[in-house]
Amino acid sequence: MDVSSKAPPTKKRSIVFYLVPQFTMLPFSAAVETLRIANRMLGYSAYTWRLCSVDGQKVYSSSGIALEANSSLADERRNLSGENRPDMVLVCSGVYVEEYNNKSVNAWLRETYNRGIAVGSLCTGAHVLAQAGLLNGKRCAIHWENLPGFAEAFPQAEVYADLYEVDGNIYTCAGGTASLDMMLNLIGQDFGENLVNRVCEQQLTDRVRNPHDRQRLPLRARLGVQNSKVLSIIELMENNLSEPLSLVEIAEDAGLSRRQIERLFRQEMGRSPARYYLEIRLDRARHLLVQSSMPVVEVAVACGFVSASHFSKCYREVYNRSPQQERAERKLTMSTSRLGVAA
C-alpha cells in the first residue's frame, strides 16, 4: 500500500515532551527515535518535537544524563493559542514521580486537554496526568512496578498492566520499549500499516505488539515453574492480596486437597503455600511503601493484614527492617540521588 494513498505527503504532527526531573531515558528515546525513523522513511519532517521543562532549564534523567529544554511551561501556555500550538503533549517521568506535584503543570495539562490537544504519558507519567484530574474514568497504563501505588492513590482511574492505552485523546504507556509500540500506533493512525512495517524493519523490531500484551514475563518464565496447578494457584493468590484466601478456599478452587497443595509448593517453590502467599503480599506492601505516601496502617490493610503491628512484625522478619525504616531509607535514597544529579 502506498503511503501517499493513506494520507497527504504534507501531513504533520508536532509533539511537546514535558520532562519531569529524573525521567527515564529508555521510553523517551524509544519514542523520539521511532518518530525520527518515520520521518526518514517519509522523506520529510512529518513529526516535529520540542522538549519542555517547568522553567525552560535542562532536566536530569534518572541515569544522570541531562537534556536541554527548548521551552518553559510559560512558553507552552502561550503556545496554546499561537502558531506553535502542539498536536500532542507527552509527560515523561520515571522514579520518584509520586513526589512530583506541580499545580501549574496540572493546570497547563488540563487547559491543553480542554483545547482538544491530545495528552499522554511515558513510563510513570500517568501519575502526573492523574494528579491533573485527566484520568478519572479513563483507561490508562503505567509500569507494573508502580501500578499498586497508583491504583491506591487514584481509584477513579481505570489502570491496567497493559503496554499502552489509548482512550479518546488520552495516550498512556507503561514505559520501557512500550513507548515504541505506542508511537507505532500513532504512526499507523497517520500513515497506515505500510509505514509502520518499514519503521519496524529499521528498528529491527519483528512485530508490533498488541496494546494489551502483558508487561511482565508469564509466571512460567518468571518463576521457572512448570506445574500448571501451582501456577494457577499463584495466579489466584496474586489476584487476592487485599483479602487473602484461606488454604481451604484455594484448595476448593484448585480441585486439590490441602495436603496436595502443601506437597506441590514444597517441591516447586521450596516453601509452604502460606509462606509464599505472605511473601507476595509483603512484596506488594514494599512497593506501596516506596511509591506512595499512604500511612503504614493503610498499606497493611491494602495487603490483607489485620493490624499494623502484625504487618510490621511480618515485614521485619522478611526484610530485616520495619516498614517505617523502609520508607526512611527511601527518602534518604531520594535525597542522595538528587544531590548526585545536581553535582
Each residue of 277-303: pLDDT tens digit?
999 999 989 988 887 778 899 999 999
What is the Cα–Cα distance from 223 to 269, expressed in whole angstroms?
9
Angle in degrees, CA 248, 288, 239, rounded to 5: 30
Instruction: Assign 159 to helix, strand or coil.
Output: strand
pLDDT score for 332 = 66
What is the Cα–Cα distance from 325 to 78, expressed in whole angstroms?
45
Domain boundaries, the chain: 3-203, 219-334
User: 156, 105 in Cβ contact below 8 A?
Assistant: no
Task: Give the number of C-alpha atoms closer than 13 A to the C-alpha of residue 14, restricted to the C-beta side.
Answer: 11
pLDDT score for 211 = 81
> Among 7-21, 147-161, 180-194, whose mean pLDDT is lowest?
7-21
Compute CA distances 339 → 58, 60, 66, 69, 342, whole Å.
16, 11, 14, 21, 5
What is the Cα–Cα distance from 288 to 68, expressed in whole angstroms?
33
What is the Cα–Cα distance from 130 to 119, expressed in whole angstroms?
12
Q: How many CB atoms lie within 10 A of CB 225?
A: 16
pLDDT 10s digits, 127-186: 999 999 999 999 999 988 888 888 888 999 999 889 999 999 999 999 899 999 999 999
> Which phi and psi (to 5°) does residue 214 adopt?
-70, 145
Residues in a beta bridge with 244: none
Residues in a beta bridge with 119: 89, 170
pLDDT 10s digits, 235-290: 899 889 989 999 999 999 999 999 999 999 999 999 999 999 999 999 989 988 88
CATH number 1.20.1260.10 given to 219-334: no
Instruction: Say yes or no to pLDDT of 57 above 60.
Output: yes
pLDDT score for 73 = 96
The β-bridge relationship of strands 71-72 and 47-53 is parallel
pLDDT class for 226, splitting at 50, 70, 90?
confident
pLDDT score for 95 = 83
CATH number 3.40.50.880 given to 3-203: yes
Asked if the domains 3-203 and 219-334 are classified in one and the same CATH topology, the answer is no
pLDDT class for 2, splitting at 50, 70, 90?
very low
pTM confidence score: 0.77
Q: How many CB atoms lie within 10 A of CB 277?
A: 24
pLDDT class for 187, splitting at 50, 70, 90?
very high
> Which phi and psi (to 5°) does residue 22 adopt?
65, 35
Mean predicted confidence (pLDDT) in 209-236? 78
pLDDT score for 209 = 83
* Percent of the chain predicted with pLDDT > 90: 71
Instruction: Say yes or no to pLDDT of 334 above 70.
Output: no
Q: State the cell numbers at 130.
A: 492523574
Instruction: Assign 118 to helix, strand or coil.
Output: strand
If you count DSSP H runs as helices and E runs as strands, how many of each does the chain have, helices first? 16, 11
pLDDT class for 30, splitting at 50, 70, 90?
very high
What is the Cα–Cα distance from 210 to 246, expressed in whole angstroms?
36
* Encoded amino acid at 100, one letter: Y
pLDDT score for 96 = 82
Instruction: Say yes or no to pLDDT of 3 above 50.
Output: no
pLDDT score for 223 = 75
User: 43, 7 in Cβ contact below 8 A?
Assistant: no
pLDDT class for 336, splitting at 50, 70, 90?
low
> Among 10-19, 86-95, 137-146, 291-300, whose mean pLDDT is lowest?
291-300
pLDDT class for 1, splitting at 50, 70, 90?
very low
Mean predicted confidence (pLDDT) in 46-69? 96
pLDDT class for 331, splitting at 50, 70, 90?
low
What is the Cα–Cα distance from 53 to 121, expressed in whole angstroms?
15
330: closest CA among 126, 95, 144, 23? 95
